Amino acid sequence: MQTFEQDTAHTGDHRPLTAIILGGLFTALGGGLFAFTIPLLSLDERISGAWLGTAFAGYYLAKLLVAPLSGMAADRFGPRRVLTLAMGIGCLIPLCYFLVPELSTLYAIQVIMGIVLGLVRPVGMATLGSTGSGSALSRRFAIHAAAFSGAAFIGPILGSLLYFNRSMEPVLLGLAACLGLATLMTMWLLPSKITTIRPEEPKTPTLHRAGDTATALFIALSGRTLGIGLLTAFYPILLANTLGRNGLTIAFIYAIPGLATFLGLTVSGRFSTRKPDLDRVAFGMMLSAGSLFMLGSSSQAWQFITFGTLMGLGAALSIPPSMALAATLSQRQGVLFGAANTASGLGFLFGPLLGGVLIQIFHSLVPAMQVAAALGALACLPLIAITLRDHFYWSGTQSKGITIFLALLLIVIMGFSLTAQTEKTTFGKDLYKFTDVAMGTIVNLTIEAQNEKTASDAAKKTMSAIWAYQQDLDHRNPEGSIGRINRSAGVSWVKPTPRAFDVLQRAFTVSEHSQGVFDPTIGALTTTPLYFALDETVAHAKSPLVDYRQVLFDIPGRRVKLKKKGMALDLGGIAKGTIVDAAVALLRKQGIQSGIVEAGGDFYCFGKRDWTVGIRHPRNSAEIQTISIREKGVCGSGDYQQFITTKKAGKTITRHHIINPSTMESAHKSLGVTVVANSAEQADVQATTLFIMGPAQGTDYLKKHAPDSKAIWFLPNNTVATTKNFP
């Protein structure tokens, strides 16, 4: 048997290294382009989040479970056989869709791709691990990690290009082509005699304690990926709540840690001069953990950019030497890197779960991120102790002492963070706050009750109801009322739930009163992902399908029908308010007399208590005015939530998600509107309507149809307009 080191040293043949890098790159590229398009297809087909979540859960679980098995197989049968088999399956499995063109087939392909990637990455790393030692090995791991990181960026771009006509066939052919190239590279360049069994080396101080070092390294890897997993799941929500829903800004800032990791990996291997670089591993991981902690308390874009960059650079510093270190800990590289990938997978699995629990307890994403950062740092402490012992030659007593001190310090910091957050969200006696995620945003329930148990029980029932209402009214759920109506457009009548039927009647009453300014049939366009960023001809082509008068109501039978195929309903301009009102009603039914139900800045205040709320300018965080609210709903609408900017005739044009049905283009009479009304539903639907109308037409509309409501407009010329009764 021969290793890379032997093969390269004796023959100068670098083909094996090329095979591992290119094979991994093409495999990750194919997996990335396919994984990116699956959510888009689910949106286009209005498939429920449960189906999509199940597919991705199966994908990550498959990767987690197959990692240790792949390593053992590589040690026994050699990496070439395992890689060729995995990549070959990945090449052929997409073709199953052409035989059975069902959505379930695509989800099955997604899970199988999890198995393929779960085989390819650890086996590739194990093969690299048998190449040698020192700085050369770190550089190879840096190149390998950079290839996978680069594929994570290029894959979605390629996927979006292949999915240009909303067809999965080009995507699947692209996936098959990528895996086919990976298979050919492996068969052509990787010698059959290559093994993942590392030759024996002279004992070093680290290798004398290889078991302790491996355990410490795997714990540190789990801690690092715990933070990454939590960040992946909740970082977009934190950015949206902090910076506003500027889709491109959020996407850019969200991508910064990964981009910094990729760029850092392209150069980090050059700084490795020793074997093993324990200090670089520990420093990089602690830098990432500290940056994650600071991200949690950031409030400005420059802070997110700065600490996101530092977090990515910390990962770039630690990944190559940590893998090079792992390669020195055992001769059986397959088993070793299978275990390393399992440790990483556990962090990715439990990070989002931890975040969900902490959000419910502390009502904020901030402590969730900071606790994850502290746990990541704590997980790194055993490795720091070994670094001090084996790299700086501290005594066992000294290294343990400083490690214990750092552990206590981190626990104190974590405690202060949680205490500060608890104090921040404590409003007074008998007032309790509960937080969860629903409707694509953070939902806060502030409840006045006699004791915490009463409040907690009421909050749990209310959140369960919110999720149920969301599923019924969300056009993305094919089994919900709106989803069923949309899928039967131009074909048959549909009987929605009583609640959905009532909401639809009220929504179309607003359509009549506003003469189509508010029109739920705009869903023919808005149910398409990133519809506001598409070419304007796409929107104009949908115009014949947007007409509230083409929706039929069978009042006695409580049925609904869309006249034309291609029509679709989108209740995004009213449903959140409807759900907030329903939550308030349920809380009252459970004996809660006072509180606030708030979802993404839209809320209803109920009970005998007066609540003071602030109104902010949509272009900055400046508070324009505070108002006192009791038994009122407050909702806002603005172009700052989802938008892109383009150049047209030398002018910068903002294209955003609020579409004027009469022009099928983004409305531009307002920057933002805030409405105070007798219900959250009224405030929500009026905010959307008034945003499109502007202050002149909007004021007349309120006088005629909702005289009790009041509104404030933020206008493109940086002025403010209000109704006479505001505030």
DSSP per-residue codes, 551-569: EEEETTTTEEEESSTT---
Q: Which residue has the higher pLDDT, 413 or 20?
A: 20
Dihedral of CA atoms 458, 463, 466, 467 in degrees, nearest 10, equals: -150
* 219-228 pLDDT per residue, tens: 999 998 888 8
Query: Which SS3 state, helix, strand or coil, does residue 290 take?
Result: helix
Element at 633 (helix H, strand E): strand 632-638
**pLDDT bracket for residue 695 (50, 70, 90):** very high
Residue 39, preceding bond cis, omega within 30 degrees?
no
pLDDT at 208: 45
Positions of CATH 1.20.1250.20 in the chain = 1-194, 209-426
CATH fold, domain 1-194, is: Growth Hormone; Chain: A; (1.20.1250)
pLDDT at 484: 94
Distance between CA atoms of residues 404 and 395, nearest Å? 14
Among 259-263, 567-571, 591-595, the minimum mean pLDDT is found in 259-263
**pLDDT bracket for residue 11 (50, 70, 90):** very low
| Top-ranked range on mean pLDDT: pick from 248-252, 594-598, 712-716 | 594-598
pLDDT at 381: 92
Query: Which SS3 state, helix, strand or coil, does residue 713 take?
Result: strand
* 294-326 pLDDT per residue, tens: 888 888 888 999 999 999 999 888 888 888 888
* 153-209 pLDDT per residue, tens: 788 778 878 876 667 889 999 999 999 999 999 999 998 888 887 666 554 444 446
Average pLDDT over residues 621-625: 64
Establish how many alpha carbons lie within 13 A of residue 667's alpha carbon, considering only the half-sphere containing its beta carbon: 27
Reply yes or no on whether the pLDDT at 94 is more than 90.
Answer: yes
Reply yes or no on whether the pLDDT at 89 is more than 50.
Answer: yes
* 449-503 pLDDT per residue, tens: 888 889 889 988 998 899 889 889 988 788 899 999 999 999 999 999 999 999 9
* Contact criterion met (CB below 8 Å) for 414 and 396: no
Nearest to 103 by CA among 157, 37, 160: 37
Place of tokens 């214990």: 404
* Contact criterion met (CB below 8 Å) for 508 and 520: yes
N-to-C CA span, the chain: 81
**pLDDT bracket for residue 237 (50, 70, 90):** low
* Contact criterion met (CB below 8 Å) for 612 and 634: no
Task: Tell me the angle at which helices 103-129 and 301-327 cross, rounded to the nearest 10 degrees.
Answer: 60
pLDDT at 49: 44
Reply yes or no on whether the pLDDT at 352 is more than 50.
Answer: yes
The encoded tokens of residue 638 equal 């603005």
Strands (E), 337-467: 431-438, 441-448
Average pLDDT over residues 344-357: 80
Please tell me what DSSP assigns to residue 340.
H
Reply yes or no on whether the pLDDT at 424 is more than 80.
Answer: no
The encoded tokens of residue 619 equal 């272009």
For the stretch 9-43, what's the b/e string if a residue is b when 16 or more beta carbons lie within 10 angstroms of its beta carbon? eeeeeeebbebbbbbbbbbbbbbbbbbbbbebbbb
Handedness of CA 695, 696, 699, 705 (dihedral sign): negative
pLDDT at 235: 77
Average pLDDT over residues 51-79: 77
Distance between CA atoms of residues 644 and 172, nearest Å? 29
| Top-ranked range on mean pLDDT: pick from 104-118, 260-274, 472-486, 554-568 | 554-568
Reply yes or no on whether the pLDDT at 585 is more than 90.
Answer: yes
pLDDT at 608: 85
Reply yes or no on whether the pLDDT at 248 is more than 60.
Answer: no
Place of tokens 């056009």: 475
Burial of 605 (0-12, 13-18, 19+ CB in 10 A): buried
The encoded tokens of residue 648 equal 């047209």
Of the options 3.30.70.20, 1.10.10.10, 1.20.1250.20, 3.40.50.10490, the CATH number for the domain spanning 209-426: 1.20.1250.20
Reply yes or no on whether the pLDDT at 36 is more than 80.
Answer: no
Positions of CATH 1.10.3980.10 in the chain = 476-562
pLDDT at 9: 41
* Contact criterion met (CB below 8 Å) for 526 and 657: yes
Pairing of strands 551-554, 559-562: antiparallel
Kindly list the distances between the CA atom of residue 80 and the CA atoms of 76, 119, 185, 192, in Å, as whole numbers in the listed order: 11, 12, 11, 6
| Top-ranked range on mean pLDDT: pick from 120-134, 163-177, 477-491, 606-620 | 477-491
Reply yes or no on whether the pLDDT at 23 is more than 50.
Answer: yes
Mean pLDDT of the chain: 82
Handedness of CA 564, 567, 569, 573 (dihedral sign): negative
Average pLDDT over residues 36-40: 69
Establish how many alpha carbons lie within 13 A of residue 85's alpha carbon, considering only the half-sphere containing its beta carbon: 13
| Top-ranked range on mean pLDDT: pick from 3-7, 284-288, 350-354 | 284-288
* Contact criterion met (CB below 8 Å) for 340 and 221: yes
Residue 276, preceding bond cis, omega within 30 degrees?
yes
* 46-62 pLDDT per residue, tens: 444 445 545 555 677 78
DSSP per-residue codes, 182-203: HHHHHHHHS-TTB-SBPPP---
Q: Which residue has the higher pLDDT, 107 or 7?
A: 107
Kindly list the distances between the CA atom of residue 576 and the CA atoms of 359, 618, 709, in Å, as whole numbers in the listed order: 21, 20, 18
Distance between CA atoms of residues 445 and 458, nearest Å? 10
**pLDDT bracket for residue 240 (50, 70, 90):** low
Reply yes or no on whether the pLDDT at 8 is more than 50.
Answer: no
List CB contacts of 107: < 8 A, sequence separation 6 or more. 38, 51, 54, 55, 58
Distance between CA atoms of residues 57 and 42, nearest Å? 15
Question: In the beta sheet, which residues pair with residue 269?
Answer: none
Element at 225 (helix H, strand E): helix 210-243
Superfamily of domain 610-722: ApbE-like domains (3.10.520.10)
| Top-ranked range on mean pLDDT: pick from 239-253, 270-284, 328-342 | 328-342
* Contact criterion met (CB below 8 Å) for 232 and 261: no
**pLDDT bracket for residue 619 (50, 70, 90):** low
Positions of CATH 3.10.520.10 in the chain = 610-722
Q: How much of the chain, in percent, has pLDDT values that exceed 70?
A: 82
Reply yes or no on whether the pLDDT at 532 is more than 80.
Answer: no
Superfamily of domain 476-562: ApbE-like superfamily (1.10.3980.10)
